Amino acid sequence: MLNIFRKIIPDRHPLRLLFHKIKGFLAALIYFFPADNMIVIGVTGTNGKTTVVNLITNVLNTAGYKVGMTSTINFQINEERWVNADKQTTMSPFKLQKLLRKMVREGCKYAVVEVTSHAITQSRILGINFDMAVVTNVTPDHVEYHGSFNSYLNEKGKLFKKVSKGRKKFGVPKVLVMNADDKYYNFFNQNVADRKITYGLKGATVYAAEVEKNPEGSHFVLHVPNNAIPIELKLPGEFNVYNALAACAVGLSLQVPIETIKKGIEDSASISGRFEHVDAGQDYSVIVDYAHAPEAMEHLLSLYRRLTKGNLISVF
């Protein structure tokens, strides 16, 4: 019956979207709106979301906080971390609200949630009162579902509107964290918030200088207002410098000391499925990466073309 329903009513038909909205509301209601009991950080964008979610979680863990996390590849509640076997970035609202409720029961102060455009359109995050929105970057993706790039961009922007217009929790400011170097920075910056923090390489609240890239990672000097500290990042590529800066900006906004932010970033080893090196004793390198959007593939192949003396073979 459900398959017939899906064939008759297109993905973005108003009736289909109403069905998703009812599911989202019921899920939040059944689990008693668990997000109201935590500080919730939503991370969106085209590329880098999973890496940023993991980096933010590592920074907060290093600061001594109890943290819950949901991402495409893994979940975490306090010390327990396990694989996301479904590989669905933002899961169904019932599974998501159940996981958030478990985070509350386990005493998590923070929840870090990876948010996709599909999840926003399909009301999977309905009933989640986000306190902070983070955007990595925006490039064309999922246009076949959303109908146009502008529709896709507007869906991403709804997370920022959700933070901007959301009900404030006692003593918790509404914060927007944005990539100052991204083409669509001004689109996200038009939203109102208690605090806005930018990151980038060309000049921002949080920025990187003296960037040195190598096959194993990058070295850069992290600059924040009135302070600076060197960072040894174990993730390669300039885009991972941006991902690290996004996590640093979140740490800064939550008043995590810069030395703790440094440790949290530097202790972050390779993330499964993100520039993951596979060593089985072979005399050549094998890299597994989840890149699928055109710009992500271009970044990946450009990086390893420069690092590869012989043939570069892509299995997609």
Q: Residue 316 — pLDDT band, cuts 50, 70, 90?
A: confident
Tell me what the mean pLDDT of segment 120-131 comes to. 96
pLDDT at 4 over 70: no
- Percentage helix, strand, coil, to 5, in the chain? 40, 20, 40
Tokens read off for 106: 């386990």
pLDDT value at residue 286: 85
pLDDT band, residue 154 (cuts 50/70/90): very high
pLDDT 10s digits, 138-151: 987 666 677 788 99
Express each pLDDT in 254-303 by its tens digit. Answer: 999 999 999 999 998 767 777 777 888 888 888 888 777 777 788 778 87
Strand, helix or coil at 174? coil
Please choose, from the candidates 162, 86, 150, the residue with its C-alpha nearest in 3D space to the C-alpha of residue 123: 162
183 compared with 1, residue with greater pLDDT? 183
**CATH classification code of 2-266:** 3.40.1190.10
* Gap between the Cα atoms of 155 and 19, Å rounded: 18
CA distance linking residue 296 with residue 299, whole number of Å: 5
Rounded mean pLDDT, 12-35? 91
Return the domain boundaries, the chain: 2-266, 276-307
